[in-house]
């Protein structure tokens, strides 16, 4: 099992801006004023959400909450059999809602099981309402349970058919509104954890529209040793448009459960890891 990624290893937006790791063209169309406190709370990373040592990770669950493919299956595999036992009495969950359990063998203390909308079966307005609700309810549960950090995958952007770019805009808009409303004061970090490179690229391109950089005197000062260490681990900012991964054949799709928002692969024979996000 890979070593857990600690919260202090995950850069904030403030640090990414300071290190010139984010493209700023979307800042010209910023919909909100700069807010240093917000930028200190937000992180964007590419990686395996099951390895994050945040207080909670959000599972892109199906309505049964009993496990499935992709990230859902990977989280259940990493958490161990106690997770499905904890989910069984919850009685499932409707799209747009979320429920919480312990993390068991995961490095995260809790798992928030959010059921994303099946965009292919809904109107655009209804799908947007339910997707935003997943993130809002997830944040509310984190606050209700006294948690300080929570990580989200890219919910519903896989076989559930939600457009990746629209999802990013909708999610960032909802999280910004949540923070502006003062509901997330106790939260120290909200992490957007992308497994697919295309989702990471989209978040990098769009984030300044909702969380623009704060320009302060002294920004050009030399970074601290800790910041330099983190910077060395960060990827270069994307310079090209993201490309969709190769689509699976229709025959393969028919073999997958309609309730599964991911495809699971067995990596190194140790545990399931997601091939892609929701």
Per residue in 179-190, pLDDT (tens digit) is 999 999 999 999
CA 40-178-153 angle, 5° bins: 70
Please answer whether residues 36 and 48 qualify as being in contact, where contact means their C-beta atoms are separated by less than 8 angstroms: no
Confidence of residue 229 (pLDDT cuts 50, 70, 90): low
Task: Find out whether 112 and 150 touch, Cβ atoms under 8 Å.
Answer: yes
Per-residue model confidence (pLDDT) at position 19? 92
- pLDDT tens digits, 107-153: 999 999 999 999 999 999 999 999 999 999 999 999 999 999 999 99
Tell me the pLDDT of the chain averaged across its residues. Answer: 84
**Quick one: which of 209, 203, 213, 204 has its CA closest to 167?**
203
Beta bridge partners of 99: 113
Indicate the pTM of the whole model. 0.79
Model confidence band, residue 14 (pLDDT cutoffs 50, 70, 90)? very high
Copy the structure tokens of residue 33: 């004023």
pLDDT reading at 243 higher than 70 = no
Are residues 78 and 273 in contact, defined by beta-carbon separation less than 8 angstroms? no
Query: Predicted confidence band at 26 (pLDDT cuts at 50, 70, 90)?
Result: confident
Question: DSSP states of the chain as a string?
Answer: -PPPBPGGGSPPHHHHHHTT-S--GGGGG-SS---HHHHHHEEEEES-GGGB-SSEEEEEE-TT-S--SHHHHHHHHHH-THHHHHHGGGT---TT-EEEEE-TTSSSSEEEEEE---GGGS-HHHHHHHHHHHHHHHHHHHHHTT-SEEEE--TT-STT---HHHHHHHHHHHHHHHHHTTTTTT--EEEEEESSHHHHHHHHHHHHHHSPPPP-TTTTSPPPHHHHHHHHHSPPPP-S---PPPPPPHHHHHTS-TT--S-EEEETTTEEEESS--
Task: Read off the pLDDT band of 251 (50, 70, 90).
Answer: very low
End-to-end CA distance of the chain: 23
- Cα distance between residue 58 and residue 171, in whole Å: 14
Between helix 197-210 and helix 164-180 the angle, nearest 10°, is: 40
């Amino acid at each position: 099992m890979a070593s857990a990624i600690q919260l202090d290893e995950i850069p904030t937006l403030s640090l990414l801006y300071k290190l010139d790791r984010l493209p700023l063209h979307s800042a010209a169309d910023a919909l909100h004023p700069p807010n240093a406190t917000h930028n200190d709370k937000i992180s964007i990373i590419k990686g395996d959400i099951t390895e994050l040592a945040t207080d909670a990770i959000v599972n892109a669950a199906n309505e049964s909450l009993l496990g499935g493919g992709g990230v859902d299956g990977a989280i259940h595999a990493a958490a161990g059999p106690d997770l499905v036992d904890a989910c069984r009495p919850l009685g499932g969950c409707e799209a747009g809602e979320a429920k919480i359990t312990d993390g068991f063998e995961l490095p995260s203390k809790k798992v928030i099981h959010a059921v994303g909308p099946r965009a292919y079966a809904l109107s655009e307005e209804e799908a947007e309402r339910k997707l935003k609700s997943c993130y809002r309810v997830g944040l509310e549960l984190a606050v209700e349970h006294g948690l300080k950090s929570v990580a989200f995958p890219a919910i519903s952007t896989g076989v559930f058919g939600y457009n990746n770019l629209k999802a990013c805009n909708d999610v960032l808009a909802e999280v910004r509104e949540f923070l502006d409303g003062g509901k997330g004061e106790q939260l120290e970090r909200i992490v957007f954890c992308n497994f697919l490179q295309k989702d990471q690229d989209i978040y990098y391109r769009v984030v300044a529209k909702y969380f623009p950089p704060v320009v302060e005197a002294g920004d050009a000062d030399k970074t601290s040793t800790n910041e330099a260490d983190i910077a060395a681990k960060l990827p270069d900012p994307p310079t090209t448009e993201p490309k969709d991964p190769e689509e699976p054949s229709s025959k393969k799709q028919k073999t997958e459960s309609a309730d599964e928002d991911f495809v699971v692969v067995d990596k190194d024979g140790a545990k399931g890891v997601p091939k892609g996000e929701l």
